[in-house]
Amino acid sequence: MSDEGCTSRSIEVTVNGRAHRAETPVRLTLADFLRLSLKLTGTHLGCEHGVCGACTVLVDGRAMRSCLMLAVQADGRAVTTIEGLAAPDGTLHPLQAAFCRHHGLQCGFCTPGLLTTLVEFLHDCPDPTEAQVREAISGNICRCTGYDSIVAAAIDAARALRDAETAS
């Protein structure tokens, strides 16, 4: 193995179902790769040191902070961003629809991170209590809503997702 290491590398990442190949500087974070290289600016950057949760995306189905991951580490992985939640025809994901109904957002800056976090959480915990929802979103900071409307939206979306599961 070479001792020089590399400062740039060709990576292949599947983002929202589409494969992207790009030559990438190794010090580029996954968040900046999504926003700057792929122009997927729905992933928001708040603090860029892992505190605010705005940049949360799903990597192989697990919620992670994209500011705390290098783009090269996503090589060969599947990433889902906020742009990948709604159906191709524009039909909102049940969580997005519930956020609309319950006013789960105001300025919308934290919303992409909250939605991706909750997609994973509701997959793991389809029938959560309010306390469980609050714990699940403890790593996402929202300065508009006071969280109550987000929690209400999550509980409502959980019900919708369960109903859809039973219907199918």
Interface residues for another protein in 139-168 (CB under 8 A)? 139-140
Residue (62 or 164) nearer to another protein, CB = 62
Sole binder of another protein in the list 14, 37, 41, 48 (CB under 8 A): 48
Count of Cβ atoms closer than 10 Å to residue 26 Cβ: 14
Angle at 64 between CA 59 and CA 69, to 5 degrees: 85
Residue 112 contacts residue 54 (beta carbons within 8 Å): yes
Binding residues for another protein, total number by CB under 8 A: 37
Tell which residue, 149, 144, 124, 116, has the closest CA to residue 134. 149
Sole binder of another protein in the list 22, 37, 68, 162 (CB under 8 A): 68
28 binds another protein (CB under 8 A): yes
Which H/E stretch holds residue 165? Answer: helix 148-167
Angle at 87 between CA 112 and CA 85, to 5 degrees: 20
Interface residues for another protein in 78-137 (CB under 8 A)? 117, 120-121, 134-136
6 binds another protein (CB under 8 A): yes
Alpha-carbon distance of 97 to 102, in angstroms, equals 9
Interaction site with another protein (CB under 8 A):
1, 3-7, 9, 25-29, 32, 48-50, 53, 56, 62-65, 67-70, 72-73, 117, 120-121, 134-136, 138-140
